[in-house]
Structure 1
Amino acid sequence: MLSNRLKNVVSEVNKGNLIADIGTDHGYVPIYLVKNSIAQKAIAADISKGSCDKAQTNITLYGLNDKIDVRCGNGLEIIKDTEIVDTIIISGMGGLLTIDVLESNKKAVNNVKQLILQPQRDIEKVRAYLHNINYKIINEEMLIEAGKYYTIINAIKGIDEEYSEIEYYFGKFLLNKKSAVLKQFIDHEYKKINIVLENISSNAIENADERIAQLKHLKALYEEGLKCL
């Protein structure tokens, strides 16, 4: 039922009374968590009515209508003021959208014990945002599936020490673990940066100097990252 990516997501979830899966799609994550007694109850939420309908069908199929509540709505607005959610899961969204979702209900985020996030891009901004709202990153995992790279962030309430630029960019835990997947990702992106730099240097492109400076800074970060791995 679960892809390798989602298996890694659910493996980070602490046991709790109520979890909320935002952007649930088919509802597989809350179904797994409830069936395996990791969550007593769950909220399966999505902004898409089609996804909500698919999730409801699957939840009914597994006989979990009394334990999983499907809610169609925007972000964390679906969480009621009276509800205390133990874990919020947001996987498969862009990093900036992930931040917007967390901003949509600050009360819910302040009350939650754990955030499991799997942003698709702008991951360094998500890490910085977590620190800004007093969440401590306690683990990260990185995997490759169907040719795509995925990073999963596990964070709990607490004050974390500020990261260096390279730690925000690549993840302190992944660097410390000397993640083989992270190294593969950096190698891949480093080659792409060099190709782009060559093309910009040989073509008249508007604002080329500014873009070249950005890419050279990024290239230096990747080189520093590789040294750590």
Structure 2
Amino acid sequence: MNEIKLSKRLKAVADYVDNGARLADIGSDHAYLPTYLMQKALINFAVAGEVVKGPFEIAKNHVSEAYLSDRIQVRLANGLGAIENTDKIDTIVIAGMGGILISEILEAGKEKLSHVKRLILQPNNHEESLRQWLVNHQFVIKNEEILLEAGKFYEIIVAEPLSKLMTEPSAKPSVPLSADLMAFGIELSLNDLTFGPFLSKEKSIIFQQKWQKELNTLNKIIARLPEEQVEKRQEVLNQIARIEEVLR
């Protein structure tokens, strides 16, 4: 099998996987990501989890054609149910799903996260819900990236457990933590949850394009909303004000 060529989105996800990782790619589709990383000798072992029979069979065939069946286990399972304790997985990728679904997958498989050192998540929407889940479950966002591919905006969120960060020598979380840190609580503002603690500071061109597009949509909505819909208008106006503030 020829060397795998990843899409821009998946290549960006791959860049956050540490050398020598033991990877679980949940919703792996064609198992392109673990195959690419294994071909580059960047990971030691991988599980490709797929919940749908068709993509599962395709992934199995791809891994077999790449002669990697001994190092990439393709499993038909729901979410983190694909991971077994003996796998010693330290890195989990969940990419190409809605943020709420990713949160639900993590919630349903919480017990599988105790030895995980890194989550690399790429939600297609509802990023704020996913960030809130991470905050609620003591994960610190270490990095974020936004990219544009084929006319779509994608955000990547890299998170690590607070417990891991607190045991690292001279560890300082990258994201400002509130005084609650004394109680090991992570605090993100509403803007951090919505726009991303890193993305809203970097304000890249692509970040600005995404939120300018959202702003244009909201402005069209407000123009069509009747004056008597006071509450709805106020809600939209508040959203507009927050986006304008972050774009300044």
Alignment partner of 2:239 out of 212, 218, 225 = 218
Aligned to 1:165: 190
Aligned to 1:192: 217
Q: TM-score, normalised by structure 2?
A: 0.86
Alignment partner of 1:13 out of 3, 6, 17 = 17
Q: TM-score, normalised by structure 1?
A: 0.93
Aligned to 1:61: 65
| 1:137 equivalent in alignment to 2:141 | yes
The separation in 1 between residues aligned to 2:15 and 2:93, in whole angstroms, is 12
Aligned residue for 2:97, secondary structure, equals: coil
What aligned pairs does 1:58-207 form with structure 2 within 5 A after superposition? Answer: 58-158=62-162, 161=177, 162-201=187-226
Listed one character per residue, the Cα deviations across residues 47-104 of structure 1 (whole Å, up to 9, x for unaligned) are 1111111111111111101000001111111212343211000001101100000012
Aligned to 1:4: 8
**Retained in 1: the 8 A contact 2:127–2:194?**
yes
The separation in 2 between residues aligned to 1:115 and 1:83, in whole angstroms, is 16
Aligned to 1:40: 44
Which amino acid counterpart does residue 218 of structure 2 have in structure 1?
I
Question: Structure 1 vs Structure 2: percent identity of aligned residues?
Answer: 38
Aligned to 2:170: none
Aligned residue for 1:201, secondary structure, equals: coil
Listed one character per residue, the Cα deviations across residues 160-207 of structure 1 (whole Å, up to 9, x for unaligned) are 6222211111111112222111001111110100001111227x8xxx
Structure 1 runs not aligned, ≥5 long: none
Aligned residue for 1:101, secondary structure, equals: helix
Deviation at 1:17, TM superposition (A): 4.2
Which amino acid counterpart does residue 151 of structure 2 have in structure 1?
G
**Retained in 2: the 8 A contact 1:166–1:224?**
no
**Retained in 2: the 8 A contact 1:85–1:111?**
yes
**Retained in 1: the 8 A contact 2:21–2:91?**
no
Structure 2 runs not aligned, ≥5 long: 164-174, 178-186
**Retained in 1: the 8 A contact 2:48–2:72?**
yes
The separation in 2 between residues aligned to 1:108 and 1:209, in whole angstroms, is 46
Aligned to 2:167: none
The separation in 2 between residues aligned to 1:185 and 1:165, in whole angstroms, is 18
Aligned length: 223
> Segments of 4+ in structure 1 off by > 3 A?
none
Aligned residue for 2:75, secondary structure, equals: strand
**Retained in 2: the 8 A contact 1:16–1:38?**
yes
Compared with structure 1, are the counterparts of its residues 75 and 221 closer, same or farther at alpha carbon in structure 2 (3 Å cutoff)? Answer: same
